[in-house]
């Protein structure tokens, strides 16, 4: 049976189970990963809560052990636990069976090398695809073993090391785990802190009974917003199914855009670090973050969107922190990887010490930096649209780091092709709400 090549994406392998991705494909891809990277040591293998994950995990484990490598079985995990396990314990690499925030019928594979170095189509995934299609099985006479390892306690202590637990004041929070693994970790993380949790969608369930487990979708935020108001909670937090992205809500139940959250986190981290630290800007929206970083004596770096690309720059330039509008937050002290729990803990500490509400923190940015939010449009020829936009706005300050970005004194935009879908993505920010609306209309006329 040949492998469906459509499952190979920019940063991972993903498709509908079992039509596009199945046990045979996962076996071959796991072996191809070993051929390409030839790891020096055991391979960490985890899985998410999806119903097809245990069976696919077994196939990956068989592929790895048949090739003579030991498998470190870390069980059902959040994706950031994979990064932690590989980097912390010095293993040869890692794979998790996961389709992240995709609907329940999907599954996939995410890969890292030693030290949790990210793998993308530009750094090995294309070669994995090539090897998997060759259909050459590796069967070593000395097969590897499957070794179980419980990493949860160490992972939790690592997340808590980012804050001073002693300063946390009492909070009542609503937490939406979206039926993934976040709830399992959160209960342990907050066990000794004065935080009352109102649990929402906490029980892991690969059926995802309320739909796609992705808080980036506005309709998936309504439930938590309403519950925050009903329970008169101090704030809310949500994760996607594999819990590597974090989303915060203020005490009024309003979503705090990840753009603003990035600025708040940059401020927190720069305030307690050295003054000349580097912070990566997301080219889609960055004025707020840039202003905070420069105000605190930091240095800004612009980087192309995508977790593998961001992590690579962070390692090379020893970057302190990066945040994306999608809810990925990256920390140098987290092995240059993203983590879904650390942003929430940093905010808890900051609210405790500053004695402020989250809406007060967000207000500083909401009233000054007006944004469109990401607007996605299907187009036949994305390159042509980007070229037309660049031509129309050539009198502005043009950046081609990722798609096209053009900046003026009172507004700016970024227009780029998606790495994962056949769409073009538009982001506009401006000094006034009216200007945002005006420019969105103008740009949509070009796109359509």
**What would the pLDDT profile of 423-447 be if each residue is shown by its tens digit?**
999 999 999 999 999 999 999 999 9
| CATH 3.20.20.70 is right for the domain spanning 370-447 | no
First to last CA, the chain: 41
Residue 437, burial from CB neighbour count under 10 angstroms (0-12, 13-18, 19+): middle
Least confident of 300-304, 355-359, 380-384: 380-384
Residue 111 in this model has a pLDDT that exceeds 90: yes
Nearest CA-CA partner of 319 in 295, 335, 342: 335
Residue 13 — φ and ψ, nearest 5°? Answer: -110, 130
Confidence grade of residue 156 (pLDDT, cut at 50, 70, 90)? very high
**What would the pLDDT profile of 7-42 be if each residue is shown by its tens digit?**
999 999 999 999 999 999 999 999 999 999 999 999
Q: Cis link prior to 18 (omega < 30° from 0)? A: yes
Give the pLDDT of residue 131: 97
Share of the chain above pLDDT 90, in %: 97
154-256 and 370-447 agree in CATH topology: no
Give the mean pLDDT of the chain: 97
User: What are the sequence ranges of the domains in the chain?
Assistant: 5-150, 154-256, 258-351, 370-447
Residue 2 in this model has a pLDDT that exceeds 90: no
Give the pLDDT of residue 1: 67
**What would the pLDDT profile of 115-154 be if each residue is shown by its tens digit?**
999 999 999 999 999 999 998 999 999 999 999 999 999 9
**What would the pLDDT profile of 40-89 be if each residue is shown by its tens digit?**
999 999 999 999 999 999 999 999 999 999 999 999 999 999 999 999 99
Q: What is the CATH number of domain 258-351?
A: 3.40.120.10
Residue 167 in this model has a pLDDT that exceeds 90: yes
Per annotation, catalytic residue among 52, 53, 78, 100: 100
CATH level 3 topology of 154-256: Alpha-D-Glucose-1,6-Bisphosphate; Chain A, domain 3 (3.40.120)
* 414, β-bridge pairs: 405, 427
Q: Is 100 a catalytic residue?
A: yes
Q: Hey, what are 155's tokens?
A: 């992972």
**What would the pLDDT profile of 195-249 be if each residue is shown by its tens digit?**
999 999 999 999 999 999 999 999 999 999 999 999 999 999 999 999 999 999 9
CATH class entry, domain 5-150: alpha beta
Residue 182 in this model has a pLDDT that exceeds 70: yes
Region 327-343 average pLDDT? 98
């Amino acid at each position: 049976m040949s492998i469906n090549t459509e499952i190979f994406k920019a940063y991972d392998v993903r498709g509908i189970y079992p039509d596009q991705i199945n046990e045979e494909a996962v076996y071959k891809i796991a072996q191809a990963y070993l051929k390409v990277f030839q790891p020096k040591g055991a391979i960490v293998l985890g899985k998410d809560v999806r119903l097809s994950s245990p069976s696919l995990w077994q196939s990956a484990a068989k592929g790895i052990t048949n090739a003579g490598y030991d498998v470190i079985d870390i069980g059902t995990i959040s994706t950031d636990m994979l990064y932690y396990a590989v980097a912390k314990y010095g293993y040869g690499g890692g794979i998790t069976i996961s389709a992240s925030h995709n609907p329940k019928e999907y599954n996939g594979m995410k890969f890292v090398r030693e030290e949790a170095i990210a793998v993308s189509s530009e750094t090995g995934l294309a070669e994995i695809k090539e090897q998997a299609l060759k259909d050459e099985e590796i069967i070593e006479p000395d097969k590897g073993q499957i070794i179980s390892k419980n990493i949860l306690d160490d992972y939790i202590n690592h997340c808590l090391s980012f804050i001073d637990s002693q300063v946390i004041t009492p909070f009542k929070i609503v937490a939406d785990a979206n039926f993934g693994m976040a709830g399992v970790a959160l209960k342990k993380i907050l066990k000794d802190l004065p935080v009352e949790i109102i649990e929402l969608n906490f029980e892991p369930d690969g059926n995802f009974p309320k739909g796609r487990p992705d808080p980036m979708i506005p309709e998936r935020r309504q439930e938590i917003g309403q519950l925050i108001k009903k329970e008169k909670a101090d704030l809310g937090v949500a994760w996607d199914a594999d819990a590597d992205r974090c989303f915060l809500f203020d005490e009024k139940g309003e979503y705090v855009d990840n753009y603003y959250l990035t600025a708040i986190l940059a401020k927190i981290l720069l305030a307690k670090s050295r003054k000349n630290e580097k912070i990566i800007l997301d080219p889609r929206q960055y004025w707020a973050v840039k202003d905070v970083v420069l105000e605190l004596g930091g240095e800004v770096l612009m980087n192309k969107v995508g977790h593998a690309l961001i992590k690579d720059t962070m390692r090379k330039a020893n970057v302190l922190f990066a945040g994306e509008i999608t809810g990925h937050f990256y920390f140098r002290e987290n092995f240059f990887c993203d983590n879904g729990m650390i942003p929430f803990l940093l905010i808890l500490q900051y609210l405790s010490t500053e004695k402020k509400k989250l809406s007060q923190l967000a207000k500083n940015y909401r009233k000054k930096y007006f944004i469109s939010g990401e607007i996605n449009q299907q187009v036949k020829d994305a390159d042509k649209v980007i070229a037309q936009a660049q031509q129309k706005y050539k009198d502005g300050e043009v950046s081609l780091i990722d798609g096209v970005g053009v900046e003026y004194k009172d507004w700016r935009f970024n227009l780029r092709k998606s790495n994962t879908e056949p769409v073009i993505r538009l982001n506009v920010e401006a000094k006034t709400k009216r200007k945002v609306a005006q420019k969105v209309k103008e740009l949509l006329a070009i796109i359509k």
